[in-house]
Amino acid sequence: MPETTRVIEPATAENAALRVAVIVGSARGGRVGPSVAEWFTRHVGGRTDIELDVVDVADLDLPVAMPGWDGLPAPAPTIQVTLANVSPRLAAAEAFVVVTPEYNHSFPAALKNLIDWHYVQWQAKPIGFVSYGGLGGGLRAVEQLRQVFAELHAMTVRDSVSLHGPWSGLGEDGVPLDTAVCEGAAKSMVDQLVWWGRALRAARAIQPYGK
């Protein structure tokens, strides 16, 4: 049989690695969110089609009180420093993965606060989810987040990763007990994220969103 030749796709702007911000959405004491995020980033970090940047809401000093629509009063200098550190990272991201627990059938207030402090940074970009906790595995939090991000003109991918409590899919250390199932789910979610991320990147290059 003739020897087959492997064709290596040349690097182009269209297939360049997608910049993905992984957002750790819980700031509660004793949280396992960082461990879940570490497992996820370690599992997908070897992919050549994504570049990861971890943003932890616990590291951000963003108050609930925000400036009015008229921009007055302006955020305090300390808040401006926080925004200067996080806002450009969200703007540079071409896709997002939100790591969230479920609190009272919803998602954490600290995560909603980060979302609400921004707007254009989310627009026309895909978002995937890694959720954890309880029998529901955080799925109710994810369903509500889909509605929030739809209002912000973001596109959430269908597949997600759901870790169901320490008795089912999530160990106390934040590492999945059934790694084969969870790693398969992570691959499916990231595959969809990359497809949509590249498609939306190409669309934004042709015409900026909303203009």
Residues 6+ apart with CB under 8 A from 27: 57, 58, 108, 110
- What value does the mean pLDDT of the chain take? 90
| Count: domains in the chain | 1
Q: Give me 11's structure tokens.
A: 């690097």
pLDDT per residue as tens digits for the range 151-206: 999 999 999 999 987 656 777 777 888 888 899 999 999 999 999 999 999 999 99
CATH number at residue 140: 3.40.50.360
CA separation for the pair 124, 200 (Å, rounded):
6
Residue 167 in domain: yes
**Best CA proximity match to 161, nearest among 105, 109, 97, 102:** 97
Tokens of 124: 């026309």
8 domain-assigned: no
CB-side neighbour CA atoms (13 Å) of 120: 9
Q: Label residue 73 exposed, middle or buried (CB < 10 Å: 0-12, 13-18, 19+).
A: exposed
Instruction: Examine residue 198 and state whether it is found in any structural domain, yes or no.
Output: yes
Could you list the residue range(s) of the whole structural domain that residue 192 is in? 20-25+36-55+85-206
Per DSSP, 168 falls in state I
Q: Using one digit for the tens of pLDDT, what is the confidence trace for 20-50?
A: 999 999 999 999 999 999 999 999 999 999 9
61-75 mean pLDDT: 78
Asked if 83 contacts 112 with a C-beta cutoff of 8 angstroms, the reply is no
The answer to whether residue 69 is domain-embedded is: no
The answer to whether position 64 is within a domain reads no
CB distance 54 to 22 below 8 Å? yes
> Is 60 inside a domain boundary?
no
pLDDT one-digit tens code per residue, 69-79: 666 667 788 88
67 in Cβ contact with 210 (< 8 Å):
no
Residue 124 has pLDDT above 70, yes or no: yes
Q: Would 136 be classed as within a structural domain?
A: yes
20 neighbors 97 (Cβ within 8 angstroms): yes
